[in-house]
């Protein structure tokens, strides 16, 4: 018997960190330098043949960075089972915002058991080696553990670095829950 699982995954993080680009890369294998801010929320779907009896419908909720200042996130987060929290390696302020997003998430949604949603941290734009934090990026193993992320990755939507790996890590953690 085939079973189908619908997984709602949130993609959050500050303005311009690359959330939409990561999703476009993952779902459509495209990248554009052109920036158009997401308004509210956008959606994308990726179907994964997980194992011989499980098909996953991965519903990606692409939440606009500017929504951190609004009061809609509680509505968007409802029934989510995991999250990608993204920052831009070239802009330190977006790294500082990571914990604000994580706190917003954990205060508004949890698993049925009351446990926090599995979340993976993405240090995006790792192709920009010469700028900002990139050259002196510390390893985030301790940070990630201390703040309850199930893992972290340096990613590039532009070069297609670690996007699949980061999302696979999240899905594996979600699927391990039950």
Residues that bind ligand GTP (CB under 6 A): 15-21, 32-33, 35, 37-38, 64-65, 124-125, 127-128, 156-158
Structure tokens at 176: 């391990």
Residue 38 or 156 with smaller CB distance to Mg ion: 38
- Please identify which residue in 38, 90, 155, 161 interacts with Mg ion, judged by CB under 5 A: 38
Candidates 9, 14, 20, 97: give the one binding Mg ion (CB under 5 A): 20
Report the b/e string of 59-76 with b at 16+ CB within 10 A: bbbbbbbebbeeeebeeb
- CA separation for the pair 178, 176 (Å, rounded): 6
28: tokens are 């459509």
Contacts of 107 (CB under 8 A, 6+ apart): none
Compute the least distance from the CB of residue 25 to Mg ion, in Å.
13
- First-residue to last-residue Cα distance in the chain: 18
Cβ closest to ligand GTP, residue 49 vs residue 71:
71
Whose tokens are 């994964």? That residue is 48
Q: Which is closer to ligand GTP, CB of 8 or CB of 91?
A: 91
Q: How far is the CB of 67 from Mg ion (least distance, A)?
A: 10
* Gap between the Cα atoms of 139 and 133, Å rounded: 12
54 close to 5: Cβ distance less than 8 angstroms: yes
Footprint of Mg ion on 59-118 (CB under 5 A): none
Nearest distance from C-beta of residue 13 to ligand GTP, angstroms: 6
Q: CB of residue 35 vs ligand GTP: minimum separation in angstroms?
A: 3
Binding residues (CB under 5 A) for Mg ion: these are 19-20, 38
């Amino acid at each position: 018997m085939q079973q189908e699982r619908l997984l709602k995954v949130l993609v959050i993080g500050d303005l311009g960190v690359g959330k939409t680009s990561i999703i476009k890369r993952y779902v459509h294998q495209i990248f554009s330098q052109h920036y158009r801010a997401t308004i509210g929320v956008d959606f994308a779907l990726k179907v994964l043949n997980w194992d011989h009896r499980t098909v996953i419908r991965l519903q990606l909720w692409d939440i606009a960075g500017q929504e951190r200042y609004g009061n809609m996130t509680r509505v968007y987060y409802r029934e989510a089972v995991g999250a990608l929290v993204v920052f831009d390696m070239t802009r330190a302020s977006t790294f500082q915002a990571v914990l604000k997003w994580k706190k917003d998430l954990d205060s508004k949604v949890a698993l049925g058991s009351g446990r926090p949603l599995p979340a993976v941290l993405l240090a995006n734009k790792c192709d920009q080696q010469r700028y900002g934090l990139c050259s002196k990026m510390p390893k985030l193993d301790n940070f990630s553990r201390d703040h309850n992320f199930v893992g972290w990755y340096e990613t590039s939507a532009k070069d297609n670095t670690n996007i699949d790996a980061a999302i696979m890590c999240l899905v594996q953690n979600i699927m391990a829950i039950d």
